[in-house]
A and B are shown apart, each in its own frame.
Chain A
């Protein structure tokens, strides 16, 4: 008999495809994984603890740094929680601005995912194509709020800036451009047999498993569960728009890929309607007391971030700082299914599955 050994392979924290400093220890039998142990916390900054010493305006820049690929939705969930607690009324134009930037952010975030996913699978060019188009959104945000990644755009009660001259027209021009580019993406890899063979049937799970693990976003919808908070529990102004929630059937990486690409189109559709319905002028900041002091009590709000259901739980004792602040971070929750999915897969599929879940390590570790 040949004496064989298990190979204990340490993937990350420095590894090209773990999307940051995520680490996973895998036991390999040949190239087949027998056990996978994720190790988190390399990017832990203690956001929730830090927040206990900060007032609510100061926490907003910290939320930017959780899911840094989609900072606008993080801004929104915090502001939304505080506003719900204080019963504040948001001017309509401000709410429209928020919605537009959130949907643009969803497009930008899914583009990053698309590019990096293809990069994980070995295709180099899609990454640069995606970043070309994301750059347009980033430039729009830069013009709007003066930062390219950590926007700090929203405030409790509204938004910091109104759209500058001509900004909304630029967004309007972006929509048909992006629709054309989505067709180009589809030509580039959508029919690529190698790519399809890599992701079809990989990382499968059924609806019950997904619900048991608390998955959300595309990771849940790929199993056919119709759960998008924009439809299920409309927040902001989402009940004013028509859009579809793309659903999958098989729950594999291919379905997640298709869902995210379709979500890009739906986001553009929402943007188009939002630009039409938007009031041409108005306040972007509601009436907010000088010091934001939510009444004592608790609140939990949740919204649909590009990665899934992001929630914010505030416990207030009536002070300017939260007594306890907890974020339900979709990347963190979605990641929990990884060890289950990886057993029996090959080393190559590890990357495919991890990329398909779409994590942002800043959000996993917060």
Chain B
């Protein structure tokens, strides 16, 4: 009987306790800086090294490069860059290996949609997803060699 009453006391006290729910859709949920949300991609920085596509555990990144339109310069520039968010697990490995920080994480996470097609994000969309970009991309943990870029 004592145990029951004690329990009733706890719940009764909780009635006036601070409520912990947030009004999420009305009040945006602010994520900490390191949050791994939807990626932001800057085509200008990309050197088409393919590292992101190779490290991706679910193979959700597909990219193609083309020869640099400026004949003076060597190397390739990015042509298409797509991430399939149906299978992307936001594991952060692509941004970890990127030598030029062309692909970085943002704090945006709202991907819900009525159609699967909407989850297939292309280069333009990823480029325009440029707010709340993660500031701290200092990949302490990444293998030192990975920071050097494609060789």
A residues near B, CB below 8 A?
54, 57-62, 125, 129, 132, 135, 139, 142-147, 150, 152, 155, 157-162, 164, 184, 187-196, 284-285, 288-290
Could you pull out 8 A-B pairs where Cβ atoms are within 8 angstroms?
A57-B55, A129-B14, A142-B34, A142-B35, A147-B35, A155-B141, A192-B7, A196-B3
Chain B residues whose C-beta falls within 8 Å of the C-beta of A157 in the assembled complex:
143
A152→B141 contact, CB < 8 A: no
Chain A residues whose C-beta falls within 8 Å of the C-beta of B10 in the assembled complex:
184, 187-188
**In the bound complex, what is the Cα–Cα distance between A158 and B141 (angstroms)?**
7
> Shortest Cβ distance from A361 into chain B, in angstroms?
19
Of the candidates A143, A152, A162, A192, which one forms a contact with B140 in the assembled complex, judged by CB atoms under 8 Å apart?
A162
B111 at the interface (CB under 8 A from A): no
Number of A-B contacts defined by CB within 8 Å: 99
A194→B4 contact, CB < 8 A: yes
**In the bound complex, what is the Cα–Cα distance between A35 and B141 (angstroms)?**
51
A54→B57 contact, CB < 8 A: yes
B57→A284 contact, CB < 8 A: no
A187→B7 contact, CB < 8 A: yes
B residues near A, CB below 8 A?
1-4, 6-7, 9-11, 14, 20, 31-36, 55-57, 89-93, 96, 105, 134, 139-143, 145-146
Chain B residues whose C-beta falls within 8 Å of the C-beta of A152 in the assembled complex:
91-93
Of the candidates A61, A145, A188, which one forms a contact with B89 in the assembled complex, judged by CB atoms under 8 Å apart?
A61
Chain A residues whose C-beta falls within 8 Å of the C-beta of B145 in the assembled complex:
290
A146→B140 contact, CB < 8 A: no
> Shortest Cβ distance from B149 into chain A, in angstroms?
12
Q: Using A59-B57, A125-B11, A142-B35 as known contacts, list a sample of 4 further A-B pairs with CB atoms less than 8 Å apart, ordered by residue number in A.
A: A150-B89, A152-B92, A161-B140, A187-B6
Q: Which residue of B lies closest to A54 (CB)?
A: B57
A160→B140 contact, CB < 8 A: yes
> Shortest Cβ distance from B38 into chain A, in angstroms?
12
Of the candidates A54, A146, A150, A190, which one forms a contact with B34 in the assembled complex, judged by CB atoms under 8 Å apart?
A146
Chain B residues whose C-beta falls within 8 Å of the C-beta of A159 in the assembled complex:
141
A132→B20 contact, CB < 8 A: yes
Chain B residues whose C-beta falls within 8 Å of the C-beta of A164 in the assembled complex:
32-34
**In the bound complex, what is the Cα–Cα distance between A211 and B39 (angstroms)?**
48
> Shortest Cβ distance from B88 into chain A, in angstroms?
11
B34→A144 contact, CB < 8 A: yes
Per DSSP, chain A at the interface is helix
Most chain A CB within a 10 A radius of its CB, from B6, B7, B89: B7
B141→A147 contact, CB < 8 A: no
Given contacts A57-B93, A184-B10, A187-B10, contact A192 B4 (CB under 8 A): yes
Given contacts A160-B140, A193-B4, contact A58 B57 (CB under 8 A): yes
A191→B2 contact, CB < 8 A: yes
> Shortest Cβ distance from B120 into chain A, in angstroms?
21
**In the bound complex, what is the Cα–Cα distance between A296 and B65 (angstroms)?**
37
Given contacts A57-B55, A142-B32, contact A189 B7 (CB under 8 A): yes
**In the bound complex, what is the Cα–Cα distance between A75 and B89 (angstroms)?**
16
B7→A188 contact, CB < 8 A: yes
Given contacts A187-B10, A290-B146, contact A284 B36 (CB under 8 A): no
> Shortest Cβ distance from B97 into chain A, in angstroms?
9
Chain A residues whose C-beta falls within 8 Å of the C-beta of B14 in the assembled complex:
125, 129
> Shortest Cβ distance from B51 into chain A, in angstroms?
11
> Shortest Cβ distance from B7 into chain A, in angstroms?
5
> Shortest Cβ distance from A68 into chain B, in angstroms?
12
A146→B143 contact, CB < 8 A: no
**In the bound complex, what is the Cα–Cα distance between A58 and B11 (angstroms)?**
45
**In the bound complex, what is the Cα–Cα distance between A253 and B143 (angstroms)?**
46
Chain B residues whose C-beta falls within 8 Å of the C-beta of A193 in the assembled complex:
1, 3-4
Chain A residues whose C-beta falls within 8 Å of the C-beta of B11 in the assembled complex:
125, 188
Of the candidates B4, B6, B20, B35, which one forms a contact with A146 in the assembled complex, judged by CB atoms under 8 Å apart?
B35
**In the bound complex, what is the Cα–Cα distance between A150 and B91 (angstroms)?**
8
A285→B141 contact, CB < 8 A: yes
B36→A146 contact, CB < 8 A: yes
Chain A residues whose C-beta falls within 8 Å of the C-beta of B143 in the assembled complex:
157, 285, 288-290
Q: Which residue of A lies closest to B11 (CB)?
A: A125
Q: Which residue of A lies closest to B91 (CB)?
A: A61
**In the bound complex, what is the Cα–Cα distance between A267 and B96 (angstroms)?**
32
